[in-house]
Amino acid sequence: MLISQIHANKAIIGVDGFSPSAGLTTPILEEADTTRAMIEHTVGRVIVVASSNKIGVVSNFKTVSLDLVDALVTDEMGADLVKQMEIPEDLQIIVATTEV
């Protein structure tokens, strides 16, 4: 896999599911494998982007656990949902706004 030759400074990952129990998940096996490989070959921060409709969702295939994620970018409702969950203490929550 060519990803094994990459050492990214930062990975920004979109997910279908974000859950403390299942971690990051997706309905497509190949996507889970590719995303996992990319995260494993990132030497810098791993940033996940997930809107509130993805928070608490568990899809078919696990990508990685939340302890490999440095930051979550989500909307205000997503941030409120995450605050009610048991997540790693060092996981940074960033609330995206529509302001430019």
- CA dihedral for 73, 76, 80, 83, sign (positive or negative): positive
Q: How does residue 100 score in pLDDT terms, banded at 50, 70 and 90?
A: low
Phi, psi of 75 (to 5 degrees): -85, 180
Q: Does a structural domain hold residue 29?
A: yes
At 1 the pLDDT is 57
The total of structural domains in the chain comes to: 1
Kindly report the pTM of this predicted structure: 0.89
Q: How far apart are CA 59 and CA 80, in angstroms?
A: 21
| C-alpha separations of 74 from 12, 67, 93, 94 in Å | 13, 17, 8, 6
Per-residue pLDDT tens digits for 27-40: 999 999 999 999 99
- Cβ atoms of 78 and 97 within 8 Å: the answer is no
- Is residue 87 in a domain? yes
Q: Which domain holds residue 41?
A: 2-95
pLDDT in tens, 39-94: 999 999 999 999 999 999 999 999 999 999 999 999 999 999 999 999 999 999 99
pLDDT computed for residue 40 by the predictor: 92
Q: Is residue 25 part of a domain?
A: yes
63 domain-assigned: yes
* pLDDT category of residue 8 using cuts at 50, 70 and 90: confident
79 domain residue, yes or no: yes
In a domain, 100, yes or no: no
- Distances from the Cα of 1 to the Cα of 6, 27, 50, 64, angstroms: 10, 21, 26, 18
